[in-house]
Structure 1
Amino acid sequence: MEHQPLSQIELTPEDNVKSASVALAKGQLPRAVFHLSFALSVDPQNPNWLNLLQQIIATSNDPIALVPLKQDISFALLAVRAYILSYCGYYNEGFYWLSQVLQILAEPIYLPWIADWLSLPESTNSLTRETRTQLLQTLLTKFPGDRIENESDREHLDRIVFALSQLRQVDPEDDFLAFSHIALLRKLGYLEEALELAQNNYETLPCWKTAVSLALVYRTRGEVDPAIDAYQDALKYNPNDLTIFLDMADLFCDAGRFKEGIYCYQKILDREPEHPGAKPYWLYYQFFQQQDIVWKDNLQTYIEEHPDNETAIQLFNHLEILLSPYLGYLPEPTDATIDILYACEENPEKGYLESLKLTFLESPSSRLVLQLYIQEKFALESIPIEIEEIQHPDPRLPHTSVNYLLWRYEGVDPYPNIDPPREEIADAIASLAMQPYSLNSWCQIARQMAISWGQEHLNSLLGVMVHPPQHPPEMAIWTWLHRLQVAAALAIAYLDTGWENSLRKQVLFDLARGPMDWTTEAAIIALMQIALEDEAAAIDILSLFRELLENVPSSGHCPYLYGLIYCSLYLPFIDDEFRQKLEQEKDFLASQ
């Protein structure tokens, strides 16, 4: 069968239809079918083109002979041969050849034909069990995973599932038919119906296949323990089935039950020590279980020994992201004030924090945390604070004129320069800040929030950065405020689209250029994400990051320097000179 991509066919679908019509008028029926097959491979449901094909079939004395089987037949022609066979009533042969076509195509473009043919009683009744099994195996292969998202595919598969329910009444003994019916129901999201059928199937005919079918439905429903019970039942019928242990391991680990998952992977490795699916995951989840970086190194060694194992490479890359600051985790603030509060938490017997003496001026966010902490722990409104030196450039001042200023100073004392947020906005940002951090997942949630809110809620997003809601008991105040600020900045990043004259550019650039603060870092993280999504924006953002690096105070702690270095290194298009400077700064910070 010829697999040449249709993009290599020079004629457009419309040109091919015209050529087919001309050939039909001249009685050149094989040529007409040849041209029409390529048009239909682009739009198999086009009613006019299907009508033309039916005219060709009606004109021919031997329609099936119009498409002889040859070694180099194209998939488009073979699909039309299948159509002709079915149109002439040879449904079993038609399904057989269309299944062959579907197996080699990346997309199931002829799914509408299958749905149409299966809706005909005479079609389903003529299928042999062998052909039906081949067709169903092909469909399940084309739609892996637990859910089918494409709406067009779902529409056709809905019709196919209805036909399968009718077929099961005709042939209730076909266990693969039942398995496929339940699998498609599950993938289409009809979980109640799928569960009922799977339970009935297992009760009626308890075996490996019906137990696995039931386990898959429970897994899709998110019911871990019932799924595991069903998998355990399947093992009774086939104790040597390593795929069941693999499914159980994945299920446990996806639920965060790493110890049980690792045990299942180990059961596989006891039989096949170098199992290409189990070994990489066993190494990967050992890291999560033990939180020891050595397992990342072990996975890297495994990849060096098995360079073709794509699963291992993907898992290693995912670990790289998880272990990368600002991508996979959010580093904690490290101001001297926060170190003092850490010490207070570790040694509560020392009593009150009565005063504070700092060598340099610190960020206003750390001052806010200090105020909230002493109010909560000691019922004090304030304590005396002595600052020995103001850095240069003055960290209280923006680098340039800005429209959005979060903090104002009276002497060395910072105060919020924006009103508190609306309660519903603060609650939504707080719910995001409570989620386990990964930049990708936070951005997805922040984008949805920002799109639903619109630009009119900008002031509330800025307000939550300096007027935080009450922190959850399990999270330190400084961790809470930092996460709120990053969550709010990410929402601001999606308040509008475009770049040059966008609101998000103006606001985030102003925050980055504002007084030295944790909110500077929050803006840097949000801008880094924009740069990763928008190459045009990346040039401006890289220029801003250079500017910020040049204006870091010459002495004292800069709360956003660590974030600025890492987020700059994640940007595309960094020249070698700037990258070298960033690496030097990173090495210097690591040595402190």
Structure 2
Amino acid sequence: MSEARDEPELSAAEELALARLALDSGDLTHAADHVAGALLRSPTLPEAHETLARLAAAAGPGALDLFPLGPHAFVGAVVARAHLLAAAGHPADGLDLLAAATAHAPQADWAGVPWVTAPELAARLDPDRVARLLMQICAAVADPVPRAGRGPLRPYLTLARHVTAAHPAHGLLLGAASALARRLGEVALAVTWAARGVRAEPSKLGEVWLGYAYRSAGRLREALAALGRAVEHDPDDLAVYADIAGTLADHGRLDEALDWIDRALDRDPTFDCAVHTAHRLRWQRDGDVAHLVALADFSRDHPDDSHEHGDLAECCRGRPWLGQVTPAGGAMVDALRGLLATGGTAFAAVRLDGWEPPSAMRTVTAAVPGLRVEVADVAGPDPREPRRASTYRLWRYDGATAAPALPAPSAAAADRIRQLAHPAWPHPPAAYDSAVVLATLELGDLLGLLVHPPDAPGTSLGRVLAGQDPSLWVRCVQVWACLGLLHHRTDEPWADSTRRRVLLELVWGVEDWTTEAALFALVTAAWVDPAVRPEVASVVAERLADVAAVSRERPVPIAVSLAHLALAAPALDPATTALARRLIVEAATSARRPGWLGGLRRRLAALFRRH
């Protein structure tokens, strides 16, 4: 269906005024078009239905022809045709069209009209057809529907009440009605209807509906019993096994859940629902990223799954580097966040106990113009020097001031990254796919973005980042620029490619946020291309070992973030995994040490000297 027409958008009142003028002049085609437009704007407006009735009377037997159906039918015309069919004695056909409109736009009150909710309609409808209609609506809406979106669907629930009263022993109808009631928050009614349906006509589908209703009601034992009976009806329906496993897992019974998944996989190792559920549950059990990588591989190799799955995104959501940028660490950005949170005044100077990443220093000095930075002598190795020889020098130092060593990117590149950069993504392969829009940027632009991040966009997200944590926006730009590097000259074989060489040099460059961004890009490459996993795992292991060694001499602000990155890397060796976990635990232990928070506050308070 379509919601667009060639005419400019008008209000319902304006559409009706034009419809009446067209009617008065005998131009029924244009009158019908404007009536359809009015119904689109206000589906339950009485004046629109009165004008539709006038139009039908004027058109006579040809009224339906004024609202033709087709592959791209205008939704307002579909709804108008539905009402004409009902008025002509064909309410079931009209309901089918209203349900199609609801599936197209569930937020509109297409069915909120008297004829749909009239009690006497039930006797004129075939219960099988109503059951299919209710299932069509359920398939088009969320489960459950958010409270704010339930109003337009309630006429269908009223219809279900009337038809189930007229056909109290129709199993399919009762089950479908239960499914709709459950989605609309009528859980007790959903249980009643599903239980009646199973008693009237025992079936696998009826038990599934009953199991879902019990589950929504919090009656776990009865839900599992009903789903178990569904398996007895059809042992080959492996989707029910996955439902049982998911239900058990939601209540913390992972071992039992995995037993059910293993039973399903024994029957069909490639059944998509079971595979997705299995990897998700195993990840929940032990946190090993190998399960998520295997799930990503399965999704890539099986693009024609029976339906879309959200297991991988669910597991990665909110996880460091799996689903989002980690916030920057270090005294400079901590102090800046505190300053912005309290609305404090500007500072004149800052004295640091050690070098902060150049990106951090640039971010803070940009937010606090005129700030002078002093750095005490600290133990080596010097974080301003690359850890290995590098062709691409991003930063230069003038005393304690870090400055970009590369020219600014083009305005077009800045605009493109501003539209794309975001602190979260569904999972690494999705981030990789999104970054393809940067494929046409020149290498100089991509590198320039790392040290010349554009201002945050004027969106609500951009305003929040600029006002509360400018460092997060800078990190977003750097992460997406490095993801863009993965798409640079993809015609070059990986081993000898520019993209690989540049990212490796950035990983071993100066101790900076760009180190994290480049390493994340390599980790993402390993997620999407199994062939590069051994090399990337080796790079991650070497870089983390280097960080651990340096940490014994002086603080490394990016250490914990790199540890989280390591845990997101495919095919990492056990020793490096253990090292990453140790670095994270040690940092968390230091943060929890008694007196630590007060000491941090004192250090931050003393960090800046006021004017």
The one of the two structures with greater contact order (alpha-carbon pairs below 8 A, sep at least 6) is 2
Match of 2:18 in 1: 19
Q: Once the 2 structures are TM-superposed, how far is the Cα of residue 304 of structure 1 from its aligned partner?
A: 4.6
Question: Aligned residue for 2:378?
Answer: 555
- How far off its partner does 1:56 sit? 1.9
* Residue type of the alignment partner of 2:51: L
Q: Please give the residue correspondences for 1:432-443 in structure 2 after superposition, counting only pairs within 5 Å.
A: none
Match of 1:38 in 2: 37
Q: Is the 8 A contact 2:244 2:260 kept in 1?
A: yes
Q: Could you tell me how far 1:61 is from its partner in structure 2?
A: 3.1
Select the residue among 149, 156, 164 that pairs with 2:146. 149
How much has 1:31 moved relative to structure 2?
Answer: 2.7
Aligned to 1:498: none
- The unaligned stretches of length 5 or more in structure 2 are 381-468, 483-504, 517-542, 551-611
Deviation, 1:7, is 6.1
Contact 2:170 2:200 in 1 (8 A): no
1:429-508 equivalences in 2 (<5 Å):
504=341, 506=343
For 1:82, the aligned partner's letter is: A
- 2:76 counterpart residue number: 76
AA at the equivalent of 2:129: T
8 Å contact from structure 1 (residues 64, 85) kept in 2: no
Aligned to 2:95: 95
Deviation at 1:167, TM superposition (A): 1.9
- TM-score by length of structure 1 reads 0.56
CA distance 1:543–1:263, shift in 2 (3 Å): farther
Going from structure 1 to structure 2, the CA distance change for 1:144 and 1:4 (only over 3 Å counts) comes to closer
Cα distance in 2 for partners of 1:591, 1:569 equals 27
The match for 1:305 is 301
Task: Select the residue among 203, 206, 209 that pairs with 1:210.
Answer: 206
2:79·2:110 contact (CA, 8 Å) conserved in 1?
Answer: no
Q: Does 1:175 align with 2:12?
A: no
Contact 2:78-2:97 within 8 A present in 1 as well: yes
Residue aligned with 2:129, SS: helix
Question: CA-to-partner distance for each residue in 1:163-193, whole Å, 9 max, x for gaps?
Answer: 3223222112321221122222222222233
Name the aligned partner's letter for residue 138 of structure 1: Q
Compared with structure 1, are the counterparts of its residues 514 and 269 closer, same or farther at alpha carbon in structure 2 (3 Å cutoff)? farther
Contact 2:15-2:34 within 8 A present in 1 as well: yes
AA paired with 2:115? W
Distance 1:116 1:102 in 2: 17
Give the Å deviation of 1:503.
Answer: 6.5
Q: Distance in 1 between matches of 2:294 and 2:158?
A: 50
Deviation at 1:101, TM superposition (A): 4.0
2:3–2:74 contact (8 Å) kept in structure 1:
no
Kept in 2, the 8 Å contact 1:280–1:311? The answer is no
CA offsets, 1:319-377, max 9 Å, x none? 5556527988999x9xxxxxxxxxxxxxxxxxxxxxxxxxxxxx9xxxxxxxxxxxxxx
The 5 Å alignment of 1:248-263 reads: 248-263=244-259
Deviations 1:398-454 (A, max 9, x none): 999x9x9xxxxxxxxxxxxxxxxxxxxxxxxxxxxxxxxxxxxxxxxxxxxxxxxxx
1:536-583 Cα deviation digits (max 9, x unpaired): xxx9779459999977765379xxxxxx99968743367789996425
Distance (whole Å) between structure 1 residues aligned to residue 262 and residue 346 of structure 2: 51
Shift of 1:231: 0.5
Instruction: For 1:116-131, list aligned pairs within 5 A.
Output: 116-131=114-129
**Could you tell me how far apart the structure 2 residues matched to 1:190 and 1:93 are?**
27
Judge which range, 175-184 or 306-315, deviates more: 306-315
Q: Distance in 2 between matches of 1:551 and 1:47?
A: 74
1:571 aligns with 2:476: yes
Partner residue, 1:280: 276
1:133-532 pair list within 5 angstroms: 133-145=131-143, 147-151=144-148, 153-306=149-302, 315-320=311-316, 323-324=319-320, 504=341, 506=343
The range that moved more, 9-18 or 39-48, is: 9-18
- The answer on whether the counterparts of 1:161 and 1:185 sit within 8 Å (CA) in structure 2 is yes
1:120: Cα distance to partner? 1.6
The match for 2:547 is 589
Q: Which amino acid aligns with 1:589?
A: V
Aligned to 1:444: none
Cα deviation, residue 65, structure 1: 4.2
Does the CA-based 8 Å contact 2:107-2:152 persist in structure 1? no
Distance in 1 (CA, whole Å) between partners of 2:95 and 2:323 is 49
Preserved CA contact (<8 Å) 2:164 2:170: yes
Describe the shift of the 1:321–1:66 C-alpha distance in structure 2 as closer, same or farther (beyond 3 A): closer
Letter in 1 for 2:547: L
Question: Could you say which residue in structure 1 is the equivalent of 2:27?
Answer: 28
Q: Distance in 2 between matches of 1:260 and 1:150?
A: 33
**Cα shift at 1:309:** 6.3
Task: Note closer, same or farther for the CA distance 1:31–1:301 as it changes in structure 2 (3 Å cut).
Answer: closer
Match of 2:4? 6
Instruction: State the Cα RMSD in Å.
Output: 4.8
Contact 1:545–1:568 (Cα < 8 Å) also in 2: no
Give the counterpart letter for 1:61 in structure 2: G
Q: CA deviation at 1:227?
A: 1.5
Distance 1:6 1:116 in 2: 27
Give the Cα–Cα distance (whole angstroms) in 2 for the partners of residues 213 and 34 of structure 1: 42
Is the 2:35–2:48 Cα contact (8 Å) retained in structure 1?
yes
Distance in 2 separating the partners of 1:204 and 1:513: 78
Residue deviations 1:236-255, cap 9 Å, x none?
Answer: 22222212112112212233
Aligned in 2, Cα 1:188/1:260: closer, same or farther, shift over 3 Å?
A: same
Question: What is the CA–CA distance in structure 1 between the aligned matches of 2:308 and 2:27, rounded to whole Å?
Answer: 56
Corresponding position of 2:106: 107
Pair 551,590 (structure 1): closer, same or farther in 2 beyond 3 Å = farther
3-state SS of paired residue (2:63): helix
Could you tell me how far 1:121 is from its partner in structure 2?
Answer: 3.1
CA distance in 1, matches of 2:166, 2:506: 72
Hey, what's the Cα distance between the residues in 2 that align with 1:229 and 1:276? 24
Tell whether the 8 Å contact from 2:280 to 2:292 is kept in structure 1 after alignment: yes
Structure 1 residues 13 and 206, CA, compared in 2 at 3 Å: closer, same or farther? same
Aligned partner letter, 1:572: V
Q: Deviations over 1:55-105 (max 9, x none)?
A: 2233343363453645465333232111112133332232233334444x1
Please name the residue that 2:57 is paired with.
58
Superposed CA offset, 1:8-47 (max 9, x none): 5434245543331211001222331122112311221223
Q: Which residue of 2 aligns with 1:387?
A: none
Whole-angstrom CA distance in 2 between matches of 1:87 and 1:8: 29
Contact 1:218 1:226 in 2 (8 A): yes
Tell me if the contact between 1:30 and 1:66 (Cα under 8 Å) persists in the aligned partners: no
Match of 1:456 in 2: none
The residue number in structure 2 matching 1:132 is 130
Q: How many pairs were matched up?
A: 403
The secondary structure found in structure 2 opposite 1:62 is helix
Task: Measure, in 1, the Cα distance between the counterparts of 2:202 and 2:2.
Answer: 46
Calculate percent identity across the aligned residue pairs.
Answer: 18
| SS of match in other structure, 2:343 | helix
- CA 1:25–1:288: 2 relative to 1, 3 Å: same
SS state at 1:179 partner: helix
CA gap 1:552/1:307 in 2 versus in 1, 3 angstroms: farther
